[in-house]
Structure 1
Amino acid sequence: MFLLRPPTPAQVAAFVARSREQAPSYAETGWSLDGRTPDWARSGRHRVRVGEGEACWERAKAALRGGQMFQDWVLRPHGEASTPLSRQGATVVLLVRHFGPWGRRKWGLYSLMTNRVLYLVDEPDRYGFGYGTLPGHLVRGEERFLLERDAGGAVWFDLTTFSRAALPFSRFAQPLVGAAQRRGARHYARMLVRAAGC
């Protein structure tokens, strides 16, 4: 869904309600959990060190659960619950600003992208979730957001993806879509590390 102004809360709520009934836009749901990639997709991985120690681990988990990697002027999360990223099956909507300023009555090009939380990971040294795209997203595929704690106590953020352009015009712009996804991965990592404050 493309807009020339940021959507109103009512528009977002209606969009979430419509998206809630949709199935993911591809068949291989959950493949990102163990790092598999369908033949039709391109894969990607971005891994960064968040910090070290138990306090860092807990802060990083809270930041991931709260979607802090989406909190800045480029991406803003909208979901059907206060913590949609910690509930399997939740519909999560991201508001993407392609260009133009944020704020009320601000012109620009914005889009709403829907994703479904497909699985959760909650283990002593691994924590995260994976979500997959719903119809209308610019790409189809999955992203896995995973925190890992190694034997030395270091905390790592690992983002694994597989996807391909979904809409006709985005297929023509596949190199740009790929570049945007790589930039997005670095952005997610930077925001999560900042939010964890380790």
Structure 2
Amino acid sequence: MSALNYRETGATRHVPLPPGYHHLRHRTRIGQGRDVFEAAGAAVTTWRMHRQSGARVDTRSPRVETGTHVTLSLGLGPLRFYAPCEVVWTAYGTELIGFAYGTRAGHPECGEESFLVELAPDGTVWFDVTAFSRPGCWYTRLAGLLVPVLQRAYARHLGNTLRRMTHHRG
């Protein structure tokens, strides 16, 4: 079992995010209504959104719970990046569903990322990705400013994936 490789565990729940990291905030409108909210929340908390986005998800837990270990991987063939993480907090509420995972030893970054589905008072369903990270290995240090660009593109891709998964509901 690998330990988390950063100190500010749970900090994606708070504003401001911790200093000394690259910060990411991305918001996507998913749709409208409780049915869309519940479908999107289920997709996020059962790893379906990540799988549908093209990531491989290796975990023993079918549902997100605090303490769950998961390794995500992206890439093609032998060129694959592995990202070991641990779920550090969850939200299973009537207007907010989601979770955050933190990076473990062996992850190319150090930090935390949250994935939240929100049902706004007007019925709009939003998907928010919030993260703080910094390079955790030689190749992410070498990639420099390209990493935040790729992270933002992936957050946008997750939002679009989730919207497609729930579009028939509202």
TM over 0.5: yes
Does residue 90 (structure 1) correspond to residue 68 (structure 2)? The answer is yes
Q: Give the counterpart of 2:84 among 92, 114, 117.
A: 114
How far off is 1:72 after superposition?
4.0
- C-alpha distance in structure 1 between counterparts of 2:139 and 2:117, whole Å: 34
DSSP-derived class of the 1:77 partner: strand
Supply the AA of the counterpart residue of 2:17.
T
How far off is 1:40 after superposition?
1.4
- C-alpha distance in structure 2 between counterparts of 1:48 and 1:179, whole Å: 17
Q: Give the counterpart of 2:143 among 169, 173, 178.
A: 173
How far off is 1:150 after superposition?
1.0
Q: Give the counterpart of 2:152 among 175, 182, 185.
A: 182
CA RMSD of aligned residues (A): 1.5
Contact 1:35–1:160, Cα closer than 8 Å, also in 2: no
DSSP-derived class of the 2:67 partner: coil
Q: What is the aligned partner in structure 1 of residue 31 from structure 2?
A: 51
How far off is 1:33 after superposition?
1.1
- C-alpha distance in structure 2 between counterparts of 1:195 and 1:112, whole Å: 25
Q: Give the counterpart of 2:58 among 78, 83, 100.
A: 78
Contact 1:68–1:191, Cα closer than 8 Å, also in 2: no
Q: Which runs of 4+ in 1 moved over 4 A?
A: none
Q: What is the aligned partner in structure 1 of residue 47 from structure 2?
A: 67
How far off is 1:42 after superposition?
1.0
Q: What is the aligned partner in structure 2 of residue 25 from structure 1?
A: 5
- C-alpha distance in structure 2 between counterparts of 1:48 and 1:35, whole Å: 19
How far off is 1:73 after superposition?
6.8
Distance 1:72 1:147, change over 3 A: closer
- C-alpha distance in structure 2 between counterparts of 1:161 and 1:182, whole Å: 10
Q: What is the aligned partner in structure 2 of residue 5 from structure 1?
A: none
Contact 2:55–2:74, Cα closer than 8 Å, also in 1: yes
Q: What is the aligned partner in structure 2 of residue 139 from structure 1?
A: 109
- C-alpha distance in structure 1 between counterparts of 2:79 and 2:28, whole Å: 31
Supply the AA of the counterpart residue of 1:88.
T
Supply the AA of the counterpart residue of 1:87.
E
DSSP-derived class of the 1:187 partner: helix
How far off is 1:36 after superposition?
3.3
Structure index of larger Rg: 1
Contact 2:86–2:101, Cα closer than 8 Å, also in 1: yes
Q: Deviations over 1:100-146 (max 9, x none)?
A: 4xxxxxx4311321010000112221111011000111111111101
Contact 2:28–2:156, Cα closer than 8 Å, also in 1: no
DSSP-derived class of the 1:71 partner: helix
Aligned residues: 168
With normalisation by structure 2, the TM-score equals 0.92
- C-alpha distance in structure 2 between counterparts of 1:112 and 1:56, whole Å: 31
Q: Percent identity, please.
A: 33
Does residue 149 (structure 1) correspond to residue 127 (structure 2)? The answer is no
Supply the AA of the counterpart residue of 1:50.
I
Contiguous gaps of at least 5 residues in structure 1 = 1-20, 101-106
How far off is 1:157 after superposition?
0.5
Does residue 164 (structure 1) correspond to residue 134 (structure 2)? The answer is yes
